[in-house]
Structure 1
């Protein structure tokens, strides 16, 4: 039986470093400055033979509930409420602070099993802080080092003692469930856009709860947070990402890390929703992001967010024309009018994600492909180069995700990009490959009459 463990503590005690070590990946952003983590981030962790869900939380701070720090604290309190056990972390090198003492009471009142860890205990510098931790009344502190992996065996024993039922070994409950999970994998969807486009608000509305931190401030989201959603027997895994600004405007190191984390989420996604502000659609940065998604080979959906603020019907009518003009490489890409604040258009958005994902996975048999190729080359032959025509012999689909085709021809280097765009548009119209990237690989077929070389 699995369980959920929430890591809590004041800012900059090393919660995200321990989270990354237990999940085995650098998922959470880590920096020397305090307050890097804002949303609660979940991951699948392993420690010895224990598999469990772990939650990284924002540092606990005393603040007004309406402020950004107060909303961050609300996210941490929600994580405490959902967890089976709490790992309360202090900084052994600094020792106890009034903030530690205040929030130890909060953890104690939750009624959940609590494991007290004194992080940064490597060497002699942390001995005094570890001894001070007894004063919190949360049991015996475990000296660990998240950075160096020290003390994890003691943490393993503490988990077994705190959650004896959930950590009891059951020998026959593993592989069958894993096979079922593989057959029902969720569609991975990343939501990208400029800062303050409404990405977190949209995902909160889809989930029906305030799972992600939102507010009027731009750039609240830093980590790429994944959440799961089920809709009409379809499972989705949504990734909320930090707002992407032009590279020239990014100077802060933390913003660079956040942008890189968002781009990494895009590379692991299958469908990417590029969210645009309805009052400023198709700005240069929107087009840069969409073009990046296409070049990465991901399925694309354009979300026209805050559309409830637009009353002019002519503006809405021009969207299709503008999208095809600015993004001809994915002509016909779905555009969904929606509002993350009111919930308008969310059903259509998920329908577009499912349909685009289906098209992205399309495979076309070779016979229909070559009938299309014959008709296309008869009506519009490839241009002659240096007085010699290029002979296109046949085509086959090499792979899907995105649809990728291999064309065998006489002179691959002589086929211009304009002719490949002509073939791509023909494939879209003939086989319904609307709104997804199409890739070509050109190969020269061996000439049997060429002289053999020694």
Structure 2
């Protein structure tokens, strides 16, 4: 991107709505209640012939303690320092507030150029209120309506000279945030990067894990549960492998979710999982694999994503051998459909075993993309049927003809047989377990579809 824009302002003035308008997608969660945005989110913005990186930030807060609001303010200040221009957004319907005046004074002391945006300026009354903004000392207010797309030509005129002055100044591509890409049907159309989602219950250390992987405080963390609300996708690389790292909001049981913003966050997490390749399910080692963890794990498997379980805060576990045995037994009993799913013990706070986690992620990604040659698959099938023939159905044995792998991501197979629809579930599982063990696909979701084999001697109309 040729230059970077930060969107700032007090809570609930429409910053995320303007962000979504500029990137052309509903990436940021938008709601009427203030304080929805907490982490800063970066997207690729477009306005006319201008291309830029745009940063959505939390509302400016006047707090300087150890609170969540103070940490949100630090994130916003970091965004302003990174940007070539900051858009200070005020509410054109309410007019200038004392808080707007306070932040305008602070921003004028910085080196980053400031453009004053009077949002929600759809009516004549709001235009009059916007005129009050001259007293902020930031030049002419630009009246717009982010929700309705009005006034964007005025914003373009103000941004154009800044873009020309910025020239080829680029953001840090290694850590630039990104939109999520849909998955292709096969590895031949695979995106150039691995999309890795960090998923789990609230307050298990997901954002801390992401920050330690990146080597910087990119995301808000703290003792409060549910800090993360948006799914934040960050382009990154690990030992030369391009990775899109996706931090997600914590998932609680649906019966406990009553807040509208939390419902939107859960839906955003589900969307992130849909676009992921590998999902890292983060557990709290002091309270591992409770019912909600299992629900999340099953959802990951049902979506066909490669699963890696990360037992976080492992340094706090006293009897590690007993805890690992209990965890492994619970996984094997509750997730038989992904027998052999890998477990990595780590500490997101100290960085212990992060290398092992990423090596495991790359291994599972490779297995998720694995293709078994048809000839080898059918040699195995022939030996398997001889060792354990399919059962009789109505006095006749089911005739299995052949098998082929029809796609990867996850590995998916088709079995052609006469009366294949009558194949018992137990024999279906027998074949699935054989494929998993023989072709080293342990821990990866598999699909096995039954296809009817046509009898050439059947009479046809």
Q: TM-score range by the shorter chain?
A: over 0.9
> Helix, strand or coil: the match of 2:392?
coil
Secondary structure in structure 1 of the residue aligned to 2:396:
coil
* Aligned counterparts, 1:206-355, within 5 A: 206-312=213-319, 313-355=321-363
Partners of 1:420 and 1:443 in 2: CA distance: 13
Aligned runs of 1:41-190 on 2, under 5 Å? 41-166=41-166, 185-190=192-197
Separation in 2 of the partners of 1:248 and 1:302? Answer: 24
1:427 partnered with 2:435: yes
Partner residue in 2 for 1:175:
none
Runs (5+) with no aligned partner, structure 2:
169-188
Aligned counterparts of 2:323 and 2:458: Cα–Cα separation in 1 = 60
1:183 to partner: Cα distance: 8.8
CA distance in 2, matches of 1:349, 1:50: 40
Q: Say whether 1:378 aligns with 2:386.
A: yes
Distance in 2 between the 1:441 and 1:184 partners? 26
Q: Distance in 1 between matches of 2:34 and 2:302?
A: 36
Contact 1:188 1:271 in 2 (8 A): yes
Could you tell me whether the CA contact under 8 Å between 2:121 and 2:144 is conserved in 1?
yes
With over 3 angstroms needed to count, the CA separation of the structure-2 counterparts of 1:8 and 1:382, relative to structure 1, is same
The answer to whether the Cα contact below 8 Å between 1:114 and 1:162 also exists between their aligned partners in 2 is no
CA distance in 1, matches of 2:449, 2:400: 13
Structure 1 stretch displaced more, 122-131 or 106-115: 106-115
**Would the aligned equivalents of 2:400 and 2:415 in 1 still touch at CA under 8 Å?**
yes
* Residues 197-246 of structure 1 deviation map (CA, whole Å, 9 limit, x = unaligned): 11011111111111111111111111111123222111211111111111
Residue equivalent to 1:199: 206
Paired residue for 2:396?
A: 388
Residues 400 and 420 in structure 2, CA contact (< 8 A), matched pair in contact too:
no
Q: For residues 35-79 of structure 1, what are the alpha-carbon distances to aligned partners after superposition, in whole Å with 9 as ceiling and x for unaligned? A: 111110111111122221111000012123311111111110111
1:375-406: CA deviation from partner (whole Å, max 9, x where unpaired): 11111122222222211110111100000111
* Paired residue secondary structure (1:55): strand
Cα distance in 1, alignment partners of residues 190 and 231 from structure 2: 25
Counterpart for residue 32 of structure 2: 32
**Structure 1 residue ranges, 4+ long, deviating more than 4 angstroms after superposition:** none
How many angstroms does 1:344 deviate by? Answer: 0.7
Deviation at 1:309, TM superposition (A): 0.5
Contact 2:11–2:35 under 8 Å retained in 1? yes
Deviation of 1:184 after TM superposition, in Å, equals 7.5
Q: Is the 8 A contact 2:2 2:163 kept in 1?
A: no
What SS does the aligned partner of 2:164 have?
A: coil
Secondary structure of the corresponding residue to residue 188 of structure 1: strand
Equivalent in the alignment of 1:399: 407
Match of 2:175 in 1: none
8 Å contact kept, 2:84–2:166:
no
- Partner of 1:63, secondary structure, is coil
> Is it true that 1:442 corresponds to 2:443 in the alignment?
no
Match of 1:393, SS state, is strand
Report the secondary structure of 1:126's partner residue: helix
Q: CA deviation at 1:18?
A: 0.9
Q: TM-score, normalised by structure 1?
A: 0.94
User: d(CA) in 1 for partners of 2:10 and 2:110?
Assistant: 17
Alpha-carbon distance, 1:412 to partner: 2.4
Q: Secondary structure at the match of 1:165?
A: helix
What's the CA shift for 1:186?
Answer: 2.0
Question: Which residue of structure 1 lines up, in the alignment, with residue 171 of structure 2?
Answer: none
Query: Paired residue for 1:179?
Result: none
Aligned partners of 1:184, 1:25: CA distance in 2, in Å?
20
What is residue 10 of structure 1 aligned with on the other side? 10
- Deviation at 1:450? 1.4
Moved more, 423-432 or 396-405: 423-432
Find the residue that maps to 2:134 and give its secondary structure: helix
* CA–CA separation in structure 2 for the residues paired with 1:76 and 1:444: 60
Separation in 1 of the partners of 2:167 and 2:96?
Answer: 31
Task: Note the residue ranges of structure 1 that are not aligned, 5 or more in a row.
Answer: 169-181
Count of residues in correspondence between the two structures: 440
